[in-house]
Amino acid sequence: MFTGIIHGLGQVISIDKKEKFHTYVLNFPYILLKYLKIGDSVAHNGCCLTVKNINNSYVFFDVMYITLKNTNLRTLKIGDYVNIERSLKYGDEMGGHIISGHIMNTVKIFKILKLDNNYILWCQLQDDHLSKYIFYKGFICLDGISLTVNDIFKNTFCVSIIPETLSSTTIGNKKIGDLVNIEIDFYTQIIVDTTERLIKNNISTLIK
């Protein structure tokens, strides 16, 4: 499990591309290497991957086809930086919200507004099915960052990014048209799906 509080940035050093399967090597800063071992879970732009190997500051990760298909990891190039979060440990501070690291899809950056110290990011859903999980002031996770939905219009929504997040993550380098990983808040998804299922069951009962 993760919290959406980014611990640091990893740089892509190499990508071994096989058919429907990639192996990424990232250069981790020292603070991210502490107690890291093979088999640990690490979030890359919000996507949970497993440590395959460690060679000094170089950390290896395998990425399966389903992950490449549903996330922006498929667009990474050598030299790119990735938002990194180590997995939550017992006793750690919960600074964001509970995140599983299971990316649902990507959203496209639709508009970027820079007003004084305010940085507002408008995102367009690629999958309209996800719109039912987007709520005003609801939790959202974009590229591994825990954020709050500020406004919604049709199949787009916006979030505000504080200066600290801009300086410590990759989000400030995004451009219009870029893809960003999205994970819906787990509890929101349960409530919406359960309510939807109950309503359908009640309607079916009444029809009978």
pLDDT of 206 reads 61
8-86: CATH topology is Elongation Factor Tu (Ef-tu); domain 3 (2.40.30)
Query: Do 8-86 and 105-187 fold alike per CATH?
Result: yes
CATH class of the domain whose range is 105-187:
mainly beta
- Confidence tier at 207 by pLDDT (50, 70, 90): low
For tokens 């990425």, name the residue: 63
Nearest to 143 by CA among 76, 41, 72: 72
Mean per-residue pLDDT, 99-126: 93
Mean per-residue pLDDT, 169-184: 96
pLDDT in tens, 1-38: 899 999 999 999 999 998 889 999 999 999 999 999 99
pLDDT in tens, 57-100: 999 999 999 999 999 999 999 999 999 999 987 767 777 788 88
| Sequence spans of domains, the chain | 8-86, 105-187
Give CA–CA dist 57/60, Å, rounded.
Answer: 10
Q: Is the pLDDT of residue 205 over 90?
A: no
121, 112 Cβ separation under 8 angstroms: yes
Mean per-residue pLDDT, 182-197: 88
pLDDT mean across residues, the chain: 92
Structure tokens belonging to residue 7:
């611990």
For the four alpha carbons of 32, 85, 69 and 123, in that order, the dihedral sign comes to negative
Output the furthest CA–CA distance in the chain (Å, rounded).
66
- Confidence tier at 188 by pLDDT (50, 70, 90): confident
pLDDT in tens, 49-59: 999 999 999 99
pLDDT of 163 reads 92
141, 117 Cβ separation under 8 angstroms: no
Residue at 186: amino acid letter: F
Mean per-residue pLDDT, 110-134: 91
150, 141 Cβ separation under 8 angstroms: no
Residue 169 dihedral angles phi and psi, to the nearest 5° = -135, 180
pLDDT of 15 reads 97
Give CA–CA dist 197/194, Å, rounded.
Answer: 5
Quote helix, strand, coil % in the chain, to nearest 5.
25, 45, 30
86, 42 Cβ separation under 8 angstroms: yes
pLDDT in tens, 126-162: 888 899 999 999 999 999 999 999 999 999 999 999 9
Q: Is the pLDDT of residue 194 over 80?
A: yes
